[in-house]
Amino acid sequence: MSLEQRTQRLREAGYKLTHARLTVLQVLEQQHEHLTSTQVIDAVAAIDPSIGRASVFRTLDLLTELTLIRPTYIDGSATPVYVLLPNGHHHHIVCTGCNRVIEFDDCGLAELEQRLETQYQVKLTGHLLEFYGRCSLCVLKAENTA
Ligand SMILES: [Zn+2]
Ligand SMILES: [Zn+2]
Ligand SMILES: [Zn+2]
The domains found in the chain, sorted by start residue, are 1-85 (1.10.10.10), 87-146 (3.30.1490.190)
Ligand number with the minimum distance to the CA of 71: 2
CA of 20 to the centre of ligand 2 (A): 23
pLDDT given for residue 2 in this prediction: 79
CA of 107 to the centre of ligand 3 (A): 4
Ligand number with the minimum distance to the CA of 98: 1
- Binning pLDDT at 50, 70 and 90, where does residue 119 land? very high
CA of 127 to the centre of ligand 3 (A): 6
CA of 89 to the centre of ligand 3 (A): 5
What are the residue ranges of helices labelled H in 13-94? 19-31, 37-47, 53-65
Is residue 6 predicted with pLDDT exceeding 90? no
pLDDT given for residue 139 in this prediction: 95
Ligand number with the minimum distance to the CA of 109: 3
CA of 138 to the centre of ligand 1 (A): 4
Alpha-carbon distance 68 to 28, whole Å?
10
The three-class DSSP label of residue 134 is coil
- Binning pLDDT at 50, 70 and 90, where does residue 4 land? confident
Entry pTM: 0.81
CA of 62 to the centre of ligand 3 (A): 22
Are residues 133 and 93 in contact, defined by beta-carbon separation less than 8 angstroms? yes
pLDDT given for residue 64 in this prediction: 92
pLDDT given for residue 76 in this prediction: 65
